[in-house]
């Protein structure tokens, strides 16, 4: 999936293709659509009280920000293979942990950058406190990480499988 080291982001070929398609859409058809919305709203008259115009301009700003983010990400991307199914926690893995060794208090998440965040599965960045704590651990290992309040927490790695999403 993704793994960031300095300014390089590692992506699988599928992820690279998906992000490139999104960039192409946002840079082409989506720009045309938003320009048309803005023009139609502008023709309605007074721009100060035109909610449709302001909403379209805000949407355009968000879209252009995403275009810049994707452009930078893809410029620095390296395409690689998905992680091996070897039980080692690393970016691109779906990880199941138990908090403080309590097998009933578990969390399953995808360890990846925010480009993979979706409603299907919770995503934790490898740079997050939890991500940093579990990265490189094996199934069965216990990992420790620092909570935002400065206290330490421990988790046991129950499972780690490559993401198939």
Q: Are 112 and 1 in contact (CB under 8 A)?
A: yes
CA distance 108 to 99: 11
Ordered by start, the domain boundaries in the chain are: 3-80, 93-162
pLDDT of residue 5: 43
- Please determine whether the domains at 3-80 and 93-162 fall in the same fold group of CATH: no
Of 135, 97, 143, 87, which Cα lies nearest the Cα of 113? 135
pLDDT of residue 3: 46
CA 40-44-49 angle, 5° bins: 115
The overall pTM is greater than 0.85: no
pLDDT of residue 42: 87
pLDDT of residue 64: 94
Give 3-80's CATH code, choosing from 2.40.50.180, 1.10.287.180, 1.25.40.10, 3.40.50.720.
Answer: 1.10.287.180
Give 93-162's CATH code, choosing from 3.10.180.10, 3.40.50.2300, 1.20.1260.10, 3.10.50.30.
Answer: 3.10.50.30
* Host H or E run for residue 13: helix 13-27
pLDDT of residue 117: 60
pLDDT per residue rounded down to tens, the chain (165 residues):
444 444 456 677 777 888 899 999 999 999 999 999 999 888 887 777 888 888 999 999 999 999 998 898 888 777 766 677 888 998 888 999 998 867 788 999 988 876 666 557 788 888 889 999 999 999 999 999 998 899 999 999 999 998 776
DSSP string, 48-116: GG-HHHHHHHHHHHHHHHHHHHHHHHHHTEEEEPPPPSSSB--TTEEEEEEETT-TTSEEEEEES-GGG
Structure tokens given for 14: 């599928």
């Amino acid at each position: 999936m993704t793994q960031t080291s300095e300014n390089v982001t590692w992506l699988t070929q599928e992820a690279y293709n998906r992000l490139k398609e999104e960039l192409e859409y946002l840079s082409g058809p989506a720009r045309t659509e938003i320009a048309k919305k803005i023009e139609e709203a502008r023709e309605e008259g007074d721009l100060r009280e035109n909610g449709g115009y302001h909403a379209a301009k805000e949407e355009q700003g968000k879209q252009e920000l995403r275009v810049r983010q994707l452009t930078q990400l893809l410029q620095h991307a390296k395409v690689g293979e998905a992680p091996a199914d070897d039980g080692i926690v690393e970016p691109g893995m779906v990880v199941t942990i138990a908090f403080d060794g309590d097998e009933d208090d578990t969390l399953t998440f995808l360890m990846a950058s925010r480009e993979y965040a979706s409603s299907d599965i919770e995503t934790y960045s490898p740079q997050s406190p939890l991500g940093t704590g579990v990265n490189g651990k094996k199934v069965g290992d216990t990992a420790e990480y620092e909570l935002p309040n400065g206290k330490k927490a421990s988790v046991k790695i129950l499972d780690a499988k490559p993401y198939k999403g």
